[in-house]
Amino acid sequence: MMRNMKTKKSFGLFISYTILAFMMVIIIYPLLWTVGASFNPGNSLISTSIIPKNPTLDHYRELFAGKESLQYGHWYLNSLKISLFTMLGTIVSVSFTAYAFSRFRFKGRKNALTLFLLLQMIPQFSALIALFVLAQILGMMNSHWLLILLYIGGQIPMNTYLMKGYMDSIPIDLDESAKIDGASNTRIFLQIIMPLSRPMVAVVAMNGFTGPLGDFVLSSTILRSPEAYTLPIGLYNLVNDVMGASYTTFAAGAILISIPIAIIFILLQKNFVSGLTAGGTKG
């Protein structure tokens, strides 16, 4: 009997590790191929391999060569600016909104939470026409600040629900004890709730930072001039217009996008994992 149980357990572990290994290959292989392509000479991906036979840094140098039609460094700074301000704005707006839903009971609270859930299900590109018209009415076409506001607005529903769930897990007795000592709601929020919510703040910060870096559809709708482009738009034009389908240079540019994401993750990793598993536990 014990032997059969051990056999079943071993078989189950084998199946689990096989599935995990298969998924890891699916995830890692395209990344390794892109890294290899960025160091391969030439412009075509057909002749590239994961391990370059004649590795070169020419594609990385080409990105920063200073060509008028290739403003990679400028696009990089634009993307970092938009991502950083979106991250900060998302943290502030989501923190206040989640705190209000978690600690206060007001008319329309449940309906608003339901609305937030519904908004998560609607893809942002479905409102592109309305956003385009809004940008023209406001005279903010080609504006990074309008794009930042739109990104922040798009981040609020999902992240508010996550952070509210985390704040719900913080004992309300802490609030009541602080109020007995004369603390205001603002002081409770800043000195008790927010420090205890650092894991979820890390998740919200990561979501707010990475979202704009990978967005193409919304940014290409609002931004029109090459000077205002973000990296996704610039790299898309790099492949299609500027350099005659230089896919290896595109691969080099795509690899460099991951550097700020990796830095943010390293800075937030202490709180990031616990935040991912803790949010959304209560309604």
User: Token pair for residue 19?
Assistant: 């599935």
Rounded CA separation 21/26 (Å): 9
Rounded CA separation 102/94 (Å): 12
Q: Are 118 and 235 in contact (CB under 8 A)?
A: no
Rounded CA separation 36/42 (Å): 12
Residues of the chain with pLDDT under 50: 279-283
Rounded CA separation 146/89 (Å): 13
- Identify residue 86 by its one-letter amino acid code: T
Give the closest residue to 175 by CA, choosing from 110, 99, 106, 283. Answer: 99
How far apart are the two ends of the chain, measured CA to CA in Å? 44
Rounded CA separation 13/101 (Å): 42
Burial 158-185 (b: 16+ CB within 10 A, else e): bbbbbbbbbbbeeeeeebeebeeeebee
Q: What is the DSSP string of the chain?
A: -HHHHHHHHHHHHHHHHHHHHHHHHHHHHHHHHHHHHHHSSSS-STT--SS-SS---HHHHHHTS--TT--HHHHHHHHHHHHHHHHHHHHHHHHHHHHHHHH---TTHHHHHHHHHHHHHS-GGGGHHHHHHHHHHHT-TT-HHHHHHHHHHHHHHHHHHHHHHHHHTS-HHHHHHHHHTT--HHHHIIIIIHHHTHHHHHHHHHHHHHHHHH--HHHHHH--SGGG--HHHHHHHIIIIISSS-HHHHHHHHHHHHHHHHHHHHHHHHHHHHHHHHTT---
pLDDT tens-digit readout, 161-181: 889 988 988 888 888 888 888
pTM, full prediction: 0.81
Give the closest residue to 50 by CA, choosing from 61, 62, 38. Answer: 38
Query: CA geometry: angle at 68 spanning 64 and 72, to 5°?
Result: 35
Q: What is the pLDDT of residue 281?
A: 44
Q: What is the pLDDT of residue 283?
A: 44
Q: What is the pLDDT of residue 97?
A: 92
